[in-house]
Structure 1
Amino acid sequence: MKVFQFFLVVCWLGVAAVTAVAFAEQGMAAGQVFVSDIQQLNWRAQFNVDFFAHLLLMGLWVAWRARFSALGIVTGVACVLGGGLVSLIYILVAALRCGGDVQKLLLGQRL
């Protein structure tokens, strides 16, 4: 579990670094870039739609894991809108709280 947690931290640092550079160079244009790429119906569009499907799945899992409580829904939406900056931290905190029990990590309150 420690290797997994280290992996999450490394991934989060990578996402945070790229996000900081993108924000510094392009500001808050992420949504416009995302939508305009999808409108092109090319490989960038395919990647963005595929990625968005994964974000939706992540958000749904987070909300489901918390039994669709208000906090679970808010956190799930935050994972969709915040991507890896939010979801990687969410998984790291959940992994730390589960004490190495993968079943607890995956099922959360449903255990």
Structure 2
Amino acid sequence: MWVPPRTPPEASLYRYPGTSIENRTKEPSNVANIKSQIKRNKTNEKARERNKAVKSELKTEVRRTREAIAAGDKAAAEKALAKASKKLDKAVSKGVIHENQAANRKSSIAKQVSAL
């Protein structure tokens, strides 16, 4: 199998003329040329940001429930459990998390609340 010879690092300095010294050794970013793929990249980025926000809210609600459980406050824990369950169900309907994952999380914290 033929392997091409390694080019010395200074050879890449001349590959992209007109760029600053810091950027000369960096490869150009992989940007799509096809119009539909550029649009998909935009929508994917929006969806990623939205999903990230929803997942963050989920973690917060589940954490609040666990904190109420740790404090031993059954009323607050049940209230927090209802909120967390609602958020988990919404995340499933939006397609952010899988239905089974939501069911597992809900049953886990519900079991802890009922044990109080």
The TM-score range, normalised by the shorter chain, is 0.3 to 0.5
- Bigger RCO (CA 8 Å, 6+ sep): 1
Task: State the TM-score, normalizing by the size of structure 1.
Answer: 0.33
The structure whose Rg is larger is 2
More helix, by proportion? 1
